[in-house]
Structure 1
Amino acid sequence: MDSRIQLLPILFNVSFDFIVRKVSEEAVIEGVKLAHGSSDFFHGKGETYELFELLVLMYADDLVAMFSSLQDLDKFILTSEKITQKYELTMSVKKTMTMSMEEFEVDSNGKLNKQKKIQHPDLNIVIRNQKVEITDKFTYLGCAISRDQKMKMELEARLTKATTAFNMLRNVVWYRKNVSISAKLKIFRSCVLPVLLYGSETWCPTVAQEKRFATFYMKCLRTLVGLNLGDRAPNQAILQITGQPAVEEIMRRNRLRWFGHVNIMVDDQDAATLVKKTIFSYLPNEKRPGNVGVRKRWEHKIIEDLEKSNVKNWRRETIDRDSWRAKINTIIETKPVNSRIKPIVQKYKSRADERRSREKKTDQGKAPRKVVEVLVKDNNKLCGCPNCKKKFKPQGITGHVRSCARDCCKKNNI
């Protein structure tokens, strides 16, 4: 390869950095001001902290700029257009978007009103006769970011992409009898799992969101060993016979791996770098409203991970990279596939077949009945669930009763 070609990415990064510095100097703008304290995660009232500014994130030819005011945003975009044109570069207007974070009104008592959002004025920024788009969500480096600062959109994107990656190999690998289960698991860990957990180092999922990831993960493992939900094999049994860790443990390892890597980011004077400051940063003059549930932050998730991983002194342990890597990797240590996996799978299959045959004999000669035929309607023509006693219209009670009152369904052949 020509040495000049190897230098092109470096030269572009240098020129891009020069352009951004010129823009910030000429526009005279400020980024988002954050505080970095001396006690890392724990911030008291008397803590001494250092204010620092976060203006832009740059990777290759992508850039994200952050501001506290709309005026600074307007000046930055217009100045960027002016400077890039001066140095014979062109900013793509189609790929340029603006987004404001979702905010709610706070009353005089400090209570948050989630029914009233703060409406920001629309920015009318026009560049080369094209208006800059205002959006509620965008994708940066493969990660979905939304103005409500929740993980729902990213979760859906990860599950969709991982499902596509898994289904592409369904007939090629997963259904092949001549491919061993050990080989299938290695391919799954190499081709599907990285797609599912891309960016998980910075996630702070809720319990419900973790369950959705676990559901997909276990569904994939069942397909690899040849089982399905009808065979009623417990999740723990699937993990034991395949020797795989739970997906929650993999996400925990990923968070701790990134946390340990960032914690040792210091400069020549042993001072924290910008990345380390950002990861331990907070807003010193802001207070969370007390009338709404406190949403967990990434730092809270890390504290939980450290406790569950039995890490006593992370400040000292993260300094030694090898020992830290060995400690967090024990969480997701994979084991060999059970040598008796085929007889175990066949046992679950046989049990399922026996159960289905018994159920078929029990119901033989009896036509299944409808839910509305068994339940009694009240004066308002509503039906009550036999289990939870909730009232439903006849059109909407069938699915609820089948999941909520299973014993009643079996008894009445529903």
Structure 2
Amino acid sequence: MDKTKIMFNVHVTPMPIVVGNTKLEVVDEYVYLGQIVRLGKSNFDREVNRRIQLGWAAFGKLRHIFSSDIPQNLKTKLYNQCVLPVMTYGTETWSFTAGRMRKLKVAQRAMERAMLGVSLRDKLRNEDIRSRTRVTDIAQRISKLKWQWAGHIARRTDNRWGRKVLEWQPRHMKRKRGRPCRRWEDDIKAIAGGIWTRTAKDREEWKRLEEAFANKWHTDRVVDVQ
């Protein structure tokens, strides 16, 4: 029962919920299936920060290995298998923006410098750092994960919730004035067009477009910040 939480949206009047003799806690957000869930607000910025923190926690547990004298190719393999999956878990469901992608890339660059034992004061170019670490670029990894997941959802024929949620449109609501929040499929449409769900049914064509989508988010022009 201590893992069960209650959230109320704007259409419901909050009230105490008691199961047996246990009063359930009312929260504004909670972690469910490894991701932050919030009502009425975008949770992606919070989730990006949380993924970075979890990535550093995983990196910290292995720091004694990353700072050792073992060959760099072994460090790279360990990073790709143990740290990168933690940072990219669940990113298939994110709405990508340049700012969110930049945060992840900056965090990855900091980890790469820690592996090499260098700092920002050494003024090494990002290209030189990557040529030495050869880790998988986080932007390419998460963009490919999202592209593959989008294709999987579009090709589904079993009437599960994933396709229904993607195609759902509110009947009596309109977007608020001002710049709208970025939608999950906006960047996919930019590459595959408005009828991307039809394009995804052609596996060969969808695979060909995958590289274009990944390259859209892959750039070494990242400004490191402390």
What's the TM-score, normalizing by structure 1? 0.46
Cα distance per residue 1:59-102 (max 9 Å; x no partner): xxxxxxxxxxxxxxxxxxxxxxxxxxxxxxxxx3x33221124x
1:220, CA displacement in angstroms? 1.3
Q: Would you tell me which structure has more strand in proportion to its own residues?
A: 1
Among the aligned pairs, what percent are the same residue? 25
Q: Does residue 208 of the first structure (1) align with residue 99 of the second (2)?
A: yes
Match of 2:169 in 1: 282
CA separation in 1, counterparts of 2:71 and 2:27? 47
Match of 1:225 in 2: 116
Q: Given that residues 145 and 153 in structure 1 are in contact (C-alpha distance below 8 angstroms), is that contact kept between their aligned partners in structure 2? A: no
Match of 1:128 in 2: 20
Q: Does residue 155 of the first structure (1) align with residue 81 of the second (2)?
A: no
Say if 1:225 and 1:325 are closer, same or farther in 2 by CA, change over 3 A: farther
Say if 1:95 and 1:245 are closer, same or farther in 2 by CA, change over 3 A: closer
Match of 2:67 among 140, 159, 175: 175
Q: Given that residues 146 and 153 in structure 1 are in contact (C-alpha distance below 8 angstroms), is that contact kept between their aligned partners in structure 2? A: no
After alignment, is 213-222 or 120-129 more displaced? 120-129
After alignment, is 134-143 or 207-216 more displaced? 207-216
Q: Given that residues 165 and 192 in structure 1 are in contact (C-alpha distance below 8 angstroms), is that contact kept between their aligned partners in structure 2? A: yes
Q: Given that residues 158 and 196 in structure 1 are in contact (C-alpha distance below 8 angstroms), is that contact kept between their aligned partners in structure 2? A: yes
Q: Given that residues 36 and 43 in structure 2 are in contact (C-alpha distance below 8 angstroms), is that contact kept between their aligned partners in structure 1? A: no
1:201 alignment partner, SS class: helix
What amino acid sits opposite 1:285 in the alignment?
H
Match of 2:5 among 77, 97, 104: 97
Q: Would you tell me which structure has more helix in proportion to its own residues?
A: 2
Match of 1:263 among 154, 163, 168: 154
Cα distance per residue 1:298-353 (max 9 Å; x no partner): 1213224x36xxx89744553354664575368769xxxxxxxxxxxxxxxxxxxx
Query: 1 or 2 for the larger relative contact order (CA 8 Å, sep ≥6)?
Result: 2
Compare CA radii of gyration and give the structure with the larger one. 1
1:281, CA displacement in angstroms? 1.9
What amino acid sits opposite 2:83 in the alignment?
V
Q: Given that residues 94 and 184 in structure 2 are in contact (C-alpha distance below 8 angstroms), is that contact kept between their aligned partners in structure 1? A: yes
CA separation in 2, counterparts of 1:332 and 1:240? 19
Q: Given that residues 80 and 135 in structure 2 are in contact (C-alpha distance below 8 angstroms), is that contact kept between their aligned partners in structure 1? A: no
2:124 alignment partner, SS class: coil
Unpaired stretches in structure 1, ≥5 consecutive residues: 1-91, 104-117, 334-414
Cα distance per residue 1:333-389 (max 9 Å; x no partner): 9xxxxxxxxxxxxxxxxxxxxxxxxxxxxxxxxxxxxxxxxxxxxxxxxxxxxxxxx
CA-based RMSD: 2.8
CA separation in 1, counterparts of 2:198 and 2:74? 39
What's the TM-score, normalizing by structure 2? 0.80
Cα distance per residue 1:23-49 (max 9 Å; x no partner): xxxxxxxxxxxxxxxxxxxxxxxxxxx
1:121 alignment partner, SS class: coil
**Count of matched residue pairs:** 214
Q: Given that residues 204 and 297 in structure 1 are in contact (C-alpha distance below 8 angstroms), is that contact kept between their aligned partners in structure 2? A: yes
Say if 1:193 and 1:245 are closer, same or farther in 2 by CA, change over 3 A: closer
Match of 1:373 in 2: none
Match of 1:301 in 2: 187
Match of 1:370 in 2: none
Q: Given that residues 245 and 332 in structure 1 are in contact (C-alpha distance below 8 angstroms), is that contact kept between their aligned partners in structure 2? A: no
Q: Given that residues 154 and 198 in structure 2 are in contact (C-alpha distance below 8 angstroms), is that contact kept between their aligned partners in structure 1? A: no
Say if 1:312 and 1:235 are closer, same or farther in 2 by CA, change over 3 A: farther
Match of 1:137 in 2: 29
CA separation in 2, counterparts of 1:254 and 1:138? 24
What amino acid sits opposite 2:76 in the alignment?
L
1:226, CA displacement in angstroms? 3.4
